[in-house]
Amino acid sequence: MEKENKEFPSELRLDLVSNDWVVIASARARRPESFVKEKRKKEVVDSKECPFCQEKILDKAVAKIEKDNSWFILSMPNDFPAFSFGNQLDQRKKGPYQLMNGLGFQEVIITADHEKQLNQFSNEEMEMVVEMYHQRYCELIKKEFIQYVSLFHNHGKEAGASVAHPHSQIVAIPVLDPDLKGSLDGAESFYQKNKKCVYCTMIEWDLEDEKRIIYQNEKFVVLSPYAPQTSFEVRVYPKEHQPYFSQLTQEDKPFFADALRIALKRINQALNDPAYNFYIHTAPKEEGNKNYHWHLNILPKTSIMAGFELGAGIEISSIKPEKAAEFLRKQND
């Protein structure tokens, strides 16, 4: 009789929220250091030619925060929006199809320094970034027709940053993000079965287990998820149960800024300034989502999705999140 291998060459891990399986490909496991690529060639664009370094953007600003008598961060309407302001959705049918106007708001959140990236910010500077994120989110979620506000940041060309100058974007739309809808449904399903928040359950377990914890402070925890979407995925969670990003308090903001700054700095150091995306997932405007738990996802560009991932919808990670977390913990702050 053939003996069963104690160390199976790979693992299938189930995401508790989405009920999606991911593959941890231990058979082709890579050492954490192997993810460190040659430093990206930065796009060199003279600030005189940069669209975000022109004085006229101050005239477009809908909100700004100053530091040392000059603007440090501002938000302005996107010059090339996918969604535009309007006074009616005009939902209608066309044969078997449904459509509506692309109504919404799209803003660019810009920091003044042409080259300084978020991972290089001080705690004070990151607090101003968090303040702007929260200000604009709370303003846009109140708008008529808006159901969801997406807040995200692209770093590097490989991550979709079309302008080298550091900036984030915020998009307010009248429909739900499909990925978020799956998470909302998964969180509600878990609550109905277990009478507790799935995210609080995971956070509680991870804080006790400690293997995937990268950093924590009094209010927030930074961790590698048990079933990651990609190698070195990192998430930032509030320890307290909060369904909505709007529930972030003034007292909590410095702790969120601290957690986000350290997460980005450690990823930058560990992986040699990789391209990455981060975004905030929060319960939408509509009521009835009290069992969700808002958080921020950071997805470094460590690989390219190929046929199996795209066709089967199953992610493959070639490093265990426990190993990734250990590697990130070793980085200096």
Report pLDDT digits (tens) over 276-311.
999 999 999 867 789 999 999 999 987 665 565 555
The CA distances from residue 94 to 97, 100, 259, 318, in Å, are 5, 10, 48, 45
Query: What mean pLDDT is predicted for residues 211-237?
Result: 96
Using 50, 70 and 90 to split pLDDT, how confident is the model at 28?
low
Is there a single domain that holds both residue 150 and residue 285?
A: no
pLDDT of residue 1: 42
pLDDT score recorded for residue 90: 85
Q: Are residues 108 and 77 in the same domain?
A: yes
**Which of 5, 4, 13 has the alpha carbon at shortest distance from 315?**
13
Please report, rounded to a whole number, the percentage of residues in the chain having pLDDT higher than 90.
62
| 3-class secondary structure, 128 | helix
Residues 211 and 160 in one domain: no
Query: Where does a domain end: 133, 148, 173?
Result: 173
pLDDT one-digit tens code per residue, 191-215: 999 999 999 999 999 999 999 999 9
Give the pLDDT mean for 214-243.
96
Q: What is the DSSP letter of 26?
A: G
Within a domain: residue 39? no
Give the model's pLDDT for residue 9: 67
Spell out the long-range contacts of 307-311 with Cβ–Cβ below 8 A and sequence spacing 24 or more: none
Q: Please tell me the total count of domains within the chain.
A: 2
Q: What is the CATH number of the domain that holds 97?
A: 3.30.428.10
pLDDT recorded at residue 239: 98
Report pLDDT for 283: 94
Pair (97, 152) in one structural domain: yes
Give me the pLDDT at residue 49, please.
Answer: 85
Residue 18 near residue 183 (C-beta atoms within 8 A): yes
What pTM did the predictor assign? 0.89
Q: What is the pLDDT of residue 2?
A: 47
Neighbouring C-alpha atoms within 13 Å toward the C-beta of 255: 18
- Mean pLDDT, to the nearest integer, of 218-239? 95
Report how far residue 87's alpha carbon sits from residue 240's, in angstroms, rounded to the nearest whole number.
37
199 with 86, same domain: the answer is: no
| pLDDT band (50, 70, 90) for residue 229 | confident
Closest CA to 222 of 110, 109, 331: 331
The DSSP string of 261-312 is HHHHHHHHHHHTS--EEEEEE---SSS--TT---EEEEEE--S---HHHHHH
The average pLDDT across 84-97 equals 87
Q: How many CA atoms lie within 13 A of 224 on its CB side?
A: 24
Give the E-state strand segments of the chain in sequence order: 11-14, 21-24, 63-67, 70-77, 92-94, 97-99, 105-111, 148-155, 167-173, 213-216, 220-223, 234-238, 276-281, 295-300, 315-317
What mean pLDDT, rounded, does the chain reach?
88
> Residue 108 — very low, low, confident or very high, per pLDDT cuts 50/70/90?
very high
Q: Are residues 151 and 267 in the same domain?
A: no
Alpha-carbon Rg for the chain in angstroms: 21
- Dihedral sign computed on CA atoms, order 183, 188, 194, 195: positive
Q: Which residue has the higher pLDDT, 245 or 99?
A: 245
